[in-house]
C-alpha cells in the first residue's frame, strides 16, 4: 500500500443548503421542509456575505475542495450554485483542479439542472440513492424509486467527470446475500466512489420513536458486523476498496473533501447549522452557525455571519480529534503528527496491547492504523488509545 501519511490535509469550504422536499425518518441532519418557495437570491447573497466574513478570519488560503451539502443542494437553481462558487473564488485562491462536489437527490434531478451545475463549475456529484429496491426506498422515506435513481445516475455520468452515491445497509430483514447482490449491482453502474453507511437509529428521529415503541427492528451487532464484512469483501473484489470505514473508491477517486476531515485538515463551514474548524491566530478554533434557516439569514444580514458559538481547542482536544478522525482511514495516522499536537506520544504499552489483540498495526516508519478487525470495534480502539 502506498504511504500517504505525509500529504497536506488541505483546506476546504463546506456550504450547507438546509432545505429538503421532505424529512427522511432516519435523518438527524439540519434539514428543513418549507412549503413556500425559498428566496434563493436572498440566501445566495447571505452565503456570499458569510463567506467574506470567514475570509477575514482565515486569511488567504488555497482551496482544496468545495462541498455543497445539505439538506438537498440539488433544490438550488444552477444560478444560485454559480453565485456561491463565484463568491468563494472572490475570497480565496481556487485552483483549476479543485474538487467541487454537490449532493443531489434522485427525485430532484433534471437534465437541464445537471447541465447548469456543470457549467457553474461543479465537477463531482454525490447522489443520495440509499437503496436499489423500491420497498426499502419507501421504508427509508425516499421520494424516488429505483427507476428514478438509475436515471439520475445516468444523467450524472453524462454530465460530471466524477460520481459517487450513497447506500444504506443493515436495513430490517436484510441478509448478507441480499446486500451483496445489491452492492454488486450498484458497483456495475460505474460510480468511482461509494459511501456505504450502516443504518443507525438516531435520537429525535421518527425511527428512534418507532424502535422505542417496539415497531422497528434492525440487525443486531453480530448481523451488522457480518454485513460490514461482506461490504468490504464485495467492494475490494470489484475494485472499490475501502479507504475509510464507510467510504470506498477506485484508486485516485477518493473524496478530497472527506479526506480533509479525516486527515484533520482545516475547513470553513457556512450556512445554517454548518460547522468549521480552522487555524486562527495560531490556534485551532471550532465554529458553528445558527440552525434555523430564517434566523441564520437574519443574523447574516445584520452582522455579516450566522456564527452562534464555538471554541478554541486545547492541544489535548486537537490530538484526540486527530486520533478519532484519522483512525477511520485505511492509511491510518502519523504518530509524529499526533505527538506534535498532543505534546506527548501515544503510550507504547497501549499500542502494543492492541497489536497483540490484532486491532492495530504499524504503517511504514511512523504510522499506525486499525486492522480490519479493529475497524469493526473502532470506537473502543480509539477510546483505549486516547486514555
Contacts of 302 (CB under 8 A, 6+ apart): none
Order of strands, edge to edge, in the sheet holding 307-312? 242-244, 247-249, 193-198, 162-169, 124-130, 99-104, 65-70, 11-17, 266-270, 275-280, 283-289, 307-312
pLDDT for residue 345: 94
pLDDT on residue 387? 73
CA angle at 324 for the pair 367 and 14, rounded to the nearest 5°: 110
Show the cell assigned to 35.
412549503
Q: Among 286, 292, 257, which residue's Cα sits nearest to residue 273?
A: 292
> What is the three-class DSSP state of 305?
coil
Express each pLDDT in 56-96 by its tens digit: 999 999 999 999 999 999 999 999 999 999 999 999 999 99
pLDDT at position 5, please? 40
Q: How far is CA 291 from CA 37, 107, 272, 308, in A?
A: 19, 25, 5, 9
Q: Do the beta carbons of residue 354 and residue 381 sit within 8 Å? A: yes
Q: What is the CB-side half-sphere exposure of residue 79 using CA atoms within 13 A? A: 6
Tell me: the pLDDT tens digits for 206-222? 999 999 999 999 899 89
pLDDT in tens, 17-48: 999 989 898 888 889 999 999 999 999 999 99
- pLDDT score, position 119: 97
CA separation, residue 370 to residues 83, 203, 361 (Å): 42, 28, 6
pLDDT tens-digit readout, 310-321: 999 999 999 999
Residue 3 pLDDT exceeds 50: no
pLDDT in tens, 264-321: 999 999 999 999 999 999 999 999 999 999 999 999 999 999 999 999 999 999 999 9
Classify residue 171 as exposed, middle or buried by CB count within 10 Å of its CB (0-12, 13-18, 19+): buried
How is residue 307 annotated by DSSP? E
Rounded Cα distance between 30 and 3, Å, is 36
Say if residue 6's pLDDT is above 70. no
Question: Rounded to whole angstroms, how far apart are CA atoms 14 and 288?
Answer: 12
Cα distances from 95 to residues 98, 367, 377, in angstroms, run 6, 30, 39
Could you identify the residue written with the cell 425559498? 38
Give me the chain's average pLDDT, please: 94
Residue 375 CA to residue 373 CA, distance in Å, equals: 5
The answer to whether the pTM exceeds 0.85 is yes
Sheet holding 367-370, edge to edge: 333-334, 367-370, 360-363
pLDDT for the residue numbered 110: 79
- Give me the phi and psi of 25, to 5 degrees please: -70, -15
Amino acid at each position: 500500500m502506498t504511504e500517504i501519511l505525509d500529504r497536506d490535509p488541505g483546506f476546504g469550504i463546506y456550504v450547507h443548503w438546509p432545505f429538503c422536499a421532505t424529512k427522511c425518518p432516519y435523518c438527524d441532519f439540519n434539514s428543513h421542509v418549507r412549503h413556500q418557495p425559498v428566496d434563493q437570491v436572498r440566501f445566495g447573497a447571505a452565503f456570499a456575505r458569510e463567506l467574506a466574513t470567514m475570509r477575514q478570519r482565515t486569511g488567504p488560503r488555497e482551496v482544496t475542495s468545495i462541498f455543497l451539502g445539505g439538506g438537498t443542494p440539488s433544490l438550488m437553481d444552477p444560478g444560485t450554485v454559480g453565485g456561491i462558487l463565484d463568491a468563494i473564488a472572490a475570497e480565496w485562491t481556487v485552483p483549476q483542479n479543485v474538487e467541487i462536489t454537490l449532493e443531489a437527490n434522485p427525485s430532484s434531478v433534471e437534465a437541464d439542472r445537471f447541465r447548469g451545475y456543470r457549467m457553474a463549475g461543479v465537477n463531482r456529484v454525490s447522489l443520495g440513492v440509499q437503496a436499489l429496491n423500491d420497498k426499502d426506498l419507501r421504508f427509508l422515506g425516499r421520494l424516488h424509486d429505483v427507476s428514478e435513481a438509475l436515471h439520475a445516475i445516468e444523467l450524472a455520468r453524462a454530465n460530471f467527470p466524477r460520481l459517487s452515491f450513497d447506500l444504506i445497509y443493515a436495513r430490517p430483514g436484510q441478509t448478507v446475500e441480499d446486500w451483496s447482490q445489491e452492492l454488486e449491482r450498484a458497483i456495475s453502474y460505474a460510480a468511482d466512489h461509494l459511501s456505504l453507511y450502516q443504518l443507525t437509529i438516531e435520537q429525535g428521529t421518527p425511527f428512534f420513536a418507532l424502535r422505542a415503541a417496539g415497531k422497528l427492528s434492525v440487525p443486531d451487532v453480530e448481523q451488522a458486523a457480518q454485513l460490514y464484512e461482506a461490504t468490504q469483501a464485495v467492494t475490494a473484489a470489484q475494485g472499490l476498496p475501502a479507504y475509510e470505514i464507510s467510504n470506498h473508491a477506485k484508486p485516485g477517486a477518493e473524496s478530497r473533501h472527506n479526506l480533509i476531515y479525516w486527515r484533520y485538515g482545516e475547513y470553513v463551514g457556512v450556512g445554517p447549522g454548518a460547522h468549521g474548524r480552522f487555524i486562527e491566530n495560531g490556534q485551532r478554533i471550532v465554529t458553528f452557525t445558527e440552525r434555523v434557516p430564517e434566523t441564520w439569514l437574519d443574523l447574516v444580514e445584520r452582522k455579516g455571519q450566522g456564527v452562534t458559538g464555538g471554541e478554541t481547542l486545547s492541544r489535548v482536544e486537537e490530538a484526540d480529534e486527530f486520533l478519532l478522525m484519522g483512525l477511520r482511514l485505511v492509511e491510518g495516522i502519523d504518530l509524529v503528527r499526533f505527538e506534535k499536537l498532543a505534546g506527548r506520544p501515544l503510550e507504547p504499552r497501549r499500542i502494543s496491547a492492541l497489536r497483540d489483540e490484532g486491532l492495530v498495526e504499524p504503517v511504514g516508519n511512523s504510522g499506525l492504523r486499525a486492522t480490519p478487525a479493529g475497524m469493526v470495534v473502532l470506537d473502543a480502539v480509539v477510546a483505549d488509545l486516547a486514555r
